[in-house]
Chain A
């Protein structure tokens, strides 16, 4: 299986997940995650050659709905829950960079 998770791995993953960790937290999480992953290494011993992954416990397929409009939410109600609103839109600080 994979190598032991490193502090750099945790820092990288925190960035991907938009979490900011202090140095102490980085150290603590690295240790804890390594322990959990080490425990999970036992699945490596299983022979899974040719075994299909299960994404769903259910054998459902083709669940579709008709292309018929349903009522939308009241805009004011939704915007009332928003942290910041302007001109009926959700306001956010400047976005650096384009979508990845």
Chain B
């Protein structure tokens, strides 16, 4: 398979439910998990005579999202998107069409790649259908039951430009977007609860050729599915093209069980939604003061946090990604301010604080790294002390003393090394010839002999000195 000849092109459409107290056009509660049809009123049920009134907070959160994605906020209007479906109370969806609230932004991935954002607009969510009978999926259902609690929940639809070139980047995009949404408080963005829904537009082409025909992939319930689906779809399209077939532009459904995408419907003839401006709503034009207030109130976003942490620790922003994602950057920065050693703090936060800081406090963390840097503790010893600090707090020096940790002095260590070299002439010979892998064997032996009190780096140095001729 000559996958390497082909370039993958992916654009993502992400719908997020906004974290408002009430729905977009009425005062019914915006609440997941309530008893069916208990949060409905004439407006969100679309009863004859009902009219929409826009939720102020929905506009506020939409602006937060737009500004966090570097969009510009525009005066905007709503349009009706007309189609029949039982989960649609009015058989039209109030959305935004060619005059959306947010335009032309960007999202920076942890590795520094920038993905363009075409738009992020407001719209209302639909109700939810449950299929009964048959296989539980639409195609062989006996009938459907509809719950309108979700109808009218405010959504922002974020449309990326087709700048994504790999499944990994697609996943990174979704993760980064989620982190931004959580940071701004605009949405809790849970794919498993449906408050963030991702559809992928996938196509392939040979570099230099125009973009290929794309297929829309739906039913992606996790970032893992997203990655798998993109990879499957890419191979499917490449296989077709390489056997001389053409790609049919269509919507495909990802099936988690069989690991394939399946045709849902052909989009050869795009559905005619007959968009026209919503006559029951008036334009929104957030003034400069409102926009400025939203912009000022934005928290430091993940990309900026990575830059900040990277600068403080002397690494690249990409290298600072894990710690920021884990929400420990603030903790590390505080520990630096308390006198800790940046590089060590970062390494520990990334490798040894997977479940968070627990009982560890900033001062103890800083002190621990100082002990390390001063040579009073080896890296291994520090990790052990850290584990205890996380579990039950305390003072690192006291814990180290209680465990009898002290770094061995160099001459005592040299004696141990020499003993082991004498006992293992053959491995040492290989080491002298340049076999670096033997180092691990010797270090391990030294650790065993010294009950972990040796500093691995010193052992390695001694080995090299002995190999060079004492």
Q: Which residues of A contact B (CB under 8 A)?
A: 16, 18, 55-56, 58, 60-73, 75, 78-79, 86-100
B53 in contact with A65 (CB, 8 Å): yes
Minimum Cβ distance to chain A for residue B41 (Å): 5
Q: Are B282 and A72 in contact (CB under 8 A)?
A: no
Q: Are A95 and B265 in contact (CB under 8 A)?
A: no
Question: Given A58-B282, A65-B53 in contact, is the A70-B41 Cβ separation under 8 Å?
Answer: yes
Q: How large is the interface on B (under 10, 10 to 19, 20 to 34, 35 or more residues)?
A: 35 or more
Interface of B is mostly: loop
- Asked if B145 and A86 make an inter-chain contact with CB atoms under 8 angstroms apart, the answer reads yes
Indicate which residue in B21, B129, B130, B141 contacts A69 across the interface (CB closer than 8 Å): B21
Contact between A56 and B55, CB atoms less than 8 A apart:
no
B79 to chain A, nearest CB (A): 10
Most A-side CB within 10 Å, residue of B147, B283, B284: B283
Chain A residues with Cβ below 8 Å from B359 are none
Which residue from chain B places its CB closest to the CB of A81 in the assembled complex? Answer: B47
Residues in chain B within 8 A of chain A (CB atoms):
20-22, 26-29, 35-42, 45, 53-59, 75, 77, 83-88, 126, 129-132, 134, 138, 141-148, 218, 251, 253, 264-265, 271-274, 277, 279, 281-286
Contacts A67-B21, A70-B26, A70-B28 hold; do A61 and B145 have CB atoms under 8 A apart? Answer: no
Closest to A99 in B: B85
Instruction: From B77, B85, B218, give the contact of A95 (CB < 8 A).
Output: B85
CA distance A16 to B274 in the complex (A): 10
Bound together, the chains give a CA A99 to CA B146 distance in angstroms of 14
CA distance A90 to B54 in the complex (A): 26
A18 to B77, CA, bound (A): 28
Residues of A within 8 A of B138 (CB): 94-98
List the B side residues contacting A91 at CB < 8 Å.
143-146
Given contact pairs A55-B77, A60-B282, A72-B29, A88 touches B59 in the complex (Cβ within 8 A): no
A89 touches B37 (CB 8 A): yes
| 24 cross-chain CB contacts under 8 A | A61-B284, A62-B285, A64-B54, A68-B21, A68-B22, A69-B29, A70-B22, A71-B41, A72-B41, A73-B41, A78-B45, A86-B145, A87-B36, A88-B36, A88-B37, A91-B143, A92-B145, A94-B138, A94-B141, A94-B144, A95-B141, A98-B138, A98-B264, A99-B83
